[in-house]
Structure 1
Amino acid sequence: MHAQLASWIAAARKIVVFTGAGISTESGIPDFRSPGGVWSQSQPVFFEEFLRSSSARDEYWRQKSITHREFASAHPNLGHRVLADWERRGLIRGVITQNIDGLHQQAGSQAVLELHGTAREVACLG
């Protein structure tokens, strides 16, 4: 299987890699949906709830304080570093990720599209 993947990469001209929680679990970042994941311990707070309810905002920021600590102590792993190296060498065009942890960028990837946003920065809504 590895030889087949290597030959596909060598023959391809434009590769984009899609990643999800699995790439970051090795770095100590929990996933959201598995048993023991983030959503097994608390429910997501949706944007409309956040705007409407002070208790929803309290819950959102409680959850964020936990994930920010986990993200702050996490470091890119071999998977993140390999993808950054492949981008530098021109083997891939970039990474599209469901992750919000910023580990692809910490590893050196430049062309990263974060489908669910990022936890690396916070913007005031007004």
Structure 2
Amino acid sequence: MEKQNLDILIDRVADLIINAKRIVVFTGAGVSTESGIPDFRSPGGIWDRFDPDDFTYQKFVSDPEARRKQWRML
């Protein structure tokens, strides 16, 4: 898409948002990954750095160290 057309489209969308009474935006993993935020399953993703089992409810309630680890991440 040409820059001029993209600028026009962005202005139209901005006007729609500004003048809307309510808006809803549905997004998926592609939005964050395009911005450089890693997803969970891809190579280099979050589950490559963290064990998904450490984030289960059962692990959280049964293991004080798991809770501390999650709290430190916040």
Matches within 5 A, 1:79-118: none
CA distance in 2, matches of 1:24, 1:60: 22
Does residue 51 of structure 1 match 2:61? yes
Task: Please name the residue that 1:60 is paired with.
Answer: 70
Task: Please name the residue that 2:39 is paired with.
Answer: 31
Count of residue pairs the alignment pairs up: 49
Gaps of 5+ in 1: 1-16, 66-126
Structure with higher strand content? 1
Task: Please name the residue that 2:28 is paired with.
Answer: 20
Gaps of 5+ in 2: 1-24
Structure 1 vs Structure 2: percent identity of aligned residues? Answer: 56
Deviation track 1:10-68 (CA, whole Å, cap 9, x = no partner) reads: xxxxxxx8643122112221101111000001112101111111111123234x34xxx
Length-normalised TM-score, structure 1: 0.33
CA radius of gyration, larger in: 2
Length-normalised TM-score, structure 2: 0.51
After superposition, the CA RMSD in angstroms is 2.2
CA distance in 1, matches of 2:31, 2:51: 23
Q: Which has the higher contact order (CA 8 A, sep 6+)?
A: 1
